[in-house]
Amino acid sequence: MATDTPAPTAKQQIREQAHAARRALPDKDERSARIMQRVLALPEYERARTVLFYIDVRAEVRTRAALPDALASGKRVVVPWCNAHGELELFRLESMDELELGMYRILEPRVELRELPEKQVAPHELDLILVPGVAFDRTGGRTGHGKGYYDKLLQHARPDAPLVALAFECQLFPEIPMHAHDIYMDRIVTEDAVHEGRGRE
């Protein structure tokens, strides 16, 4: 019987495979710790004064365990939160106490702090951006959940601010279909390697 359900696109199929592989992956905490060790050893991280960390949710590479050390390092640590328009805003994090569980049980900056002028950060101030995603290829191709949150944010980042994606090896695919507006990563850091992306051209 014919149906009106459209066939899944290549990106949708890749997302589904990546989600399933990531959910089934054992030892995510230990693998995440190895990934974060590689990230913190990058020359780009060493040089950066202001770093955007995402805060992990569900099966993503865990970043939150690295936040206290990053805060203690003297770097300006920035985390994102999503506003009512579906856009990411940037928040200067100075203490883990400034975070609370928000919508979808995502750890976010406390609501009463978000609008304080001294807590707001513009994308062009970022020296390094750590980027989550659902699936990647080894040339820096990336796909997220399809909502475009990070795509919109990255369009406003400085061209010289490296984009470093964090992923488990099971999230790497031979090729991610990329469109003209899609942004390539400069590095993809996994538990096994640092893969050189092609960056923004």
> In this predicted structure, what is the pLDDT of residue 199?
66
Per-residue pLDDT band at 2 (split at 50, 70, 90): very low
CATH number of the domain residue 69 falls in:
3.40.50.10420
> In this predicted structure, what is the pLDDT of residue 102?
79
The answer to whether residues 89 and 81 touch, using CB atoms and an 8 Å cutoff, is: yes
Q: Is residue 170 part of a domain?
A: yes
Q: Is residue 17 part of a domain?
A: no
Domain that holds residue 51: 47-196
Percent of the chain with pLDDT over 70: 95
Per-residue pLDDT band at 3 (split at 50, 70, 90): very low
4 or 24, greater pLDDT: 24
12 or 5, greater pLDDT: 12
Q: CA 158 to CA 126: how far, in whole Å?
A: 7
Q: Is residue 14 part of a domain?
A: no
Instruction: Kindly report, residue by residue over 9-64, the tens digit of the pLDDT.
Output: 888 999 999 999 999 999 999 999 999 999 999 999 999 999 999 999 999 999 99
Q: Is residue 56 part of a domain?
A: yes
